[in-house]
Amino acid sequence: MGFKYAFRTLFALACFVPFASFADDCRFDMARWESILNGVRTRASAEQISQETIDATLRNPVFVPAIVKSDKNQSEFKLTLDQYLERTVSQKRIDKGKKMRGTYPTMLSRVERTFGVPRHVILAFWGMESNYGEIKSRHKLTNAFLTLMYDGRRETFFTNQLLALMKIADKNHLDINNIHGSWAGAMGHFQFIPTTLAQYGVDGNGDGRVDIIGSVGDAMFSAGNYLNKLGWNANERIVRQVVLPADFDLSLLKGDVKKPLSEWSAMGVVNPDGTPIPTNDMVAGLVGDVATIEKIRSDANESVSPDADVAPMPVITAYLTYPNFYRIKKWNSSNWYAIAIAELADKFK
């Protein structure tokens, strides 16, 4: 009875917060909420999660309407590649990454020796994911997962995340109510979700537990282990910036078509200075900002003189994308993200 009263009070207060409008003026299905909680308790017990962790997880759970709002209103605004790189590969982020390189030289060397992932790559991921730990996550993850489970859009996924989090708390003797992350459940310096952490988490500081929020060493080792398991090859580059003929087929610039470098070269792909690209046996994709290129082509056609037969077209800038690029995409599926990692990593070499 006490729990129900406490929850109703918390939910009622949330409904008066201006941004917390939810589901037809906050009509809330208490029976569904209680079913979610009971389901967690039953499944956690069956999976041998400790009673202490189960009780801690379900002690005073709070539904957070703002999390549902974030999930339903993810921005569809798309930056151009140049805009994205301007935001992510900023001089401020580069400068801070170089400072972190000097702060953690021993740990970065250990990661490189253990997992074969160069320090400049670890620094790039760290900067992209949390700005080197500067971005603080404010949501208690138990509440975030329970809220998203109730919402129902990806109930199975978020149930699995919560149970994985409970097992992590058990195994590493962590207070589950002190684990915070993003509204979608990512946590720590490299923003792992619980199932990823459960599979790839590594104790980097030797204290016998894995804590990717409180320990930079654990976070770096876990990131290195993850990239290693994805097949990272320290002897290969990630991307190569190139230029293409003005009439190049834009359907080939999405990264999903892979060809030997010799074929790309035969199609007119060259280095930015006009010299030939390497033509070894490696296979690569090709990624470019298709929407921006199409706009440039359209603007060029509109500006051409009526007396001219053909509009002058600028050359196209794009990136050859090597196997490490596609390994990054298993971490984050965005082409722009993978290019930003490559560009940022180059700054730390």
3-state secondary structure of 122: helix
Asked if residue 298 has pLDDT above 70, the reply is yes
Amino acid at 299: D
Q: What mean pLDDT value characterizes the chain? A: 89
CB 297 within 8 A of CB 291: no
Q: 95-122: per-residue pLDDT in tens?
A: 999 999 999 999 999 999 999 999 999 9
Q: State the DSSP code for 177.
A: G
Query: Would the pTM count as exceeding 0.85?
Result: yes
Amino acid at 111: V
- Cα-flanking dihedrals φ and ψ of residue 244, to 5°? -125, 160
3-state secondary structure of 319: strand
Copy the structure tokens of residue 179.
């684990």
CATH 1.10.8.350 domain position(s) in the chain: 2-73+138-185
Query: Which range, of 45-59, 60-74, 85-99, 245-259, averages the lowest pLDDT?
Result: 60-74
The string of DSSP letters for 182-224 reads: -TTS-BTTTTB-HHHHHHH---SSSSSS--TTT-HHHHHHHHH
What spatial distance separates the first Cα and last Cα of the chain, rounded to whole Å?
Answer: 60
Residue 305: predicted pLDDT: 55
Distance, in Å, from the CA atom of 189 to the CA atom of 201, rounded to the nearest integer, reads 12
Residue 153: predicted pLDDT: 87
Q: 18-68: per-residue pLDDT in tens?
A: 333 344 445 889 999 999 999 999 999 999 999 999 999 999 999 999 999
CA distances 274 to 158, 253, 322, Å, are 50, 19, 20
Amino acid at 16: F
Which helix (DSSP H) or strand (DSSP E) does residue 285 occupy? strand 283-287
Class assignment of domain 2-73+138-185? mainly alpha
Q: What is the mean pLDDT of residues 68-97?
A: 88
